[in-house]
């Protein structure tokens, strides 16, 4: 069994909870309140800015040219393609570029991104990869699952979001990251695998908390 298969199997109950979250299900059946999605889009923009830095750190932490090149390409596509798609998508919901640029992280966004950045800065390349994988893997799985619902991609608000994350391209990206983690985990002692599993578990939990934060539109107590 590969390390990613072990993670997938052990974390099934948490993955199921992520998929079953009312925010995710609401996108699938089109009933999600637009205000909640607006809140999500803004926080996700803040999240992506920090997430991109993980790719830069991935290139720094790697010695393998092919891996360095892939992280560099991901940094470029996140900053110069995905974030502009995000701005265009946000505009459909009446969110301006200024609103996106000036947004501050909510408590959960801050905790999630700082946990990943802390792990990436202080840990090994394997630890960095374990931290960033649930983001890619769970979105690709959720995208694929939602895209199987009848008529979902025609949904005027959430259809394109689902199409994007269920695309072959995102699936291939998740697969690349899974393969990288499996290669890095190979031959590692059980104590290190347990550490990687813990990091993977924590960012999987943060994915849940991110849906929950968006669903409840949770901000700081004084806002
Ligand atoms: C909270 C949150 N988690 C995961 C993603 C998905 N995602 C973010 S970056 C990336 C890979 C390439 O840019 C993917 C799949 C998201 N948007 N927001």
* Best CA proximity match to 180, nearest among 125, 218, 101: 125
Domains of the chain: 26-216 (1.20.910.10)
Residue 200: closest CA among 111, 128, 150: 128
Buried b (16+ CB within 10 A) or exposed e, 169-191: ebbebbeebbebbbebbeeeeee
Q: Is the CB of 44 under 6 A from ligand 1?
A: yes
pTM, two decimal places: 0.96
> Is 207 among the residues known to form the active site?
yes
Q: Give the per-residue pLDDT at 106.
A: 98
Query: Is any ligand 1 atom within 6 A of the Cβ of residue 176?
Result: no
Which is the catalytic residue, given 127, 141, 197, 207? 207
Q: What is the pLDDT of residue 80?
A: 94
Number of H helices, E strands in the chain: 12, 0
Averaged pLDDT in 10-residue chunks for the chain of 223 residues: 95 93 95 96 97 98 98 96 92 96 98 98 98 96 92 85 90 96 97 98 97 98 90
Is residue 139 within 6 Å of ligand 1 at its C-beta? yes
Check residue 223 and give its pLDDT. Answer: 85
Rounded Cα gap, residues 140 and 19, in angstroms: 11
pLDDT of residue 39: 98
Which of 74, 139, 205 to probe ligand 1 with, by most ligand atoms within 8 A of CB? 139
CB under 8 A, 24+ apart: contacts of 104-109 = 104/46, 105/43, 105/46, 105/47, 106/43, 106/213, 106/218, 106/219, 106/220, 107/213, 107/218, 107/219, 107/220, 108/206, 108/209, 108/210, 108/212, 108/213, 108/218, 109/43, 109/46, 109/47, 109/210, 109/213
């Amino acid at each position: 069994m590969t390390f990613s298969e072990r993670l997938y199997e052990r974390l099934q109950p948490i993955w199921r909870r992520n998929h079953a979250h009312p925010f995710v299900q609401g996108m699938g059946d089109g009933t999600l309140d637009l205000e909640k999605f607006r809140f999500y889009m803004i926080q996700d923009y803040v999240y992506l800015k920090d997430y991109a830095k993980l790719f830069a750190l991935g290139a720094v932490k790697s010695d393998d040219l092919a891996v360095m090149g892939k992280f560099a390409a991901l940094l470029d596509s996140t900053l110069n393609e995905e974030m502009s798609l995000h701005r265009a998508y946000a505009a459909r919901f009446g969110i301006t570029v200024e609103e996106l640029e000036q947004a501050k992280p909510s408590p959960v966004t801050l905790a999630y991104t700082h946990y990943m950045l802390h792990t990436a800065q202080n840990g090994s390349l394997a630890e960095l990869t374990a931290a960033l994988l649930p983001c890619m893997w769970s979105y690709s799985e959720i995208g694929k699952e939602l895209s199987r619902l009848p008529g979902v991609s025609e949904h005027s608000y959430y259809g394109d979001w689902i199409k994007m994350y269920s695309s072959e391209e995102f699936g291939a990206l998740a697969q690349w990251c899974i393969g990288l983690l499996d290669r890095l985990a190979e031959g590692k002692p059980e104590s290190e695998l347990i550490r990687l599993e813990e990091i993977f578990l924590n960012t999987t939990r943060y994915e849940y908390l991110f849906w929950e934060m968006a669903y409840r539109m949770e901000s700081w107590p004084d806002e």
